[in-house]
Amino acid sequence: MKCNYACGTAEHLHARRRFLGNMAAGSSLVVGGLGALTNPSTARQLETTQKRMIVINMAGGLSQLESWDPKPGTNTGGPFRAIETSVPGVHISELLPYTAQQMHNMAIVRSINTHNGDHGKGTYMMLTGRRQTPAADFPRLGAVVAKGLDQHNSALPGHIQVGGGSGARNNDSAYLGPRYASISLGSGTPPQNSARPKSVSEQSDATRNRLRRKANSRFAQRRRTAKTDAYTQNYEQAIELMAQRDVFDISKESQKDRDRYGPHPFGHHLLLARRLVENGITFVQVSHSNYDTHNENFNFHLEQLGEFDRPFATLIEDLAASGMLEHTLVVVLSEFGRTPNINKYYGRDHWGNAWSICMSGAGLQRGAVIGKTNDNGTKVTDREVDAGHMFHTYLQALGLDSAGHFDIGGRPIPLADPAFGPITELMS
């Protein structure tokens, strides 16, 4: 369903800028990172304890009142009921009946206050754990996780965005360098132009790549820059994507599984996300948009969450059944929530003062509900947290020391904002 966005901003369209690499990154950041990529024969065995993360970004601003923190029967509650879940005493919106049956595998944080109502700044905050300033740019969550959990023996990229892409790199890794920038992929098919042309033999292709690497090496001896490193990184990874293109093809999944996830793009995206983490991809981000519901909030959420509910519940069920949920963190987030007060267009506006996030897996307390809001959802009344707390929590759940530092050119830079810490109640 196409949403009539009343706020007039560009961010709600969720357009992704694509770059061939992060050209601003220092060349020292990618030294030594190409060895595994240039060896197509590298054996990659998925360790059972390997941590992974899937982020589902509900772009536009998911209403907490129509999802994780319903307030039926109040002046702000809207028309939808709260329903029981698989955890006694925990209720969520009736728009999420399948998800409700997976609540025993999930946790909800109902007390987020970011004091923010801007799409771009909110997205930045939720994906970096820091407020956006002109003075510094920080890597997005996927880049931090890919760097922190880097498997140098993996030929596949560690940071993937699913939906609307053709294999290009994005500009979201900041000082971590192009190796950890995300690659955008399409709707469950291999990246475009990833098959070797029939007119080029395997032998000719190998010879061509050998000559290219030799020329690049000679060039880099005297004129190496961040741009040349980014080019080399992208090219070598593209070769490996070509060699393993079936990893990105959901047609290799059974028809039964494709039916279970649904025939629409979002279902394809979540099935691809599952397939990617099963094949060792460290971080996958999937977006589900059109939640900027200034108009007809209830109709839009009825349709959008109707599309979201079953595939998401299926993903959690599958990961739990396979045992992967123990080592896979799944997060459903947004840039902010929506106003408890309903406007004259039957919509809800931007609201960062009291909203919710859902999480699952990676050893987090299952069935937990952290924090609460007052009866009509207008303010947090218990355990208020910020984006910085969430960022620390994600990293800790993945086994990373969120109080640690990256060594960037001899300069220590904290993984997460030192002013915050994790939500310890969620940790096992």
What is the three-class DSSP state of 256? helix
Q: What's residue 8's pLDDT?
A: 61
Contacts of 69 (CB under 8 A, 6+ apart): 108, 110, 355, 356, 373, 377
pLDDT tens profile 117-142? 999 999 999 999 999 999 899 999 99
Provide the 10 A C-beta neighbour count for residue 215. Answer: 10
Model pLDDT for residues 288-343, shown as the tens digit of each residue: 999 999 999 999 999 999 999 999 999 999 999 999 999 999 999 999 999 999 99
Using alpha carbons, select from 311, 248, 307 the residue that is nearest to residue 280. Answer: 248
Whether this prediction's pTM lies above 0.75 is answered by: yes
Query: In the prediction, which pLDDT does 20 show?
Result: 28
- Whether 402 has a pLDDT exceeding 90, the answer reads yes
Tell me: pLDDT of 197 over 90: no
CATH of domain 11-18+43-189+252-426: 3.40.720.10
Distance separating alpha carbons of residues 140 and 182, to the nearest angstrom? 9
Res 188: pLDDT: 59
- The domain segmentation of the chain, as residue ranges, is 11-18+43-189+252-426
Give first-to-last CA distance, the chain, whole Å: 40
**Residue 195 confidence class, pLDDT cut points 50, 70, 90:** low
pLDDT-derived band of residue 12, with 50, 70 and 90 as boundaries? very low
d(CA 231, CA 181): 13
**Is the CB of residue 151 less than 8 Å from the CB of residue 2?**
no
Residue 128: C-alpha distances to residues 31, 138, 315, 392, 395 (Å):
25, 6, 25, 10, 11
> What residues does 359 pair with on adjacent strands?
107, 331
| Torsional sign, CA 35, 41, 44, 45 | negative
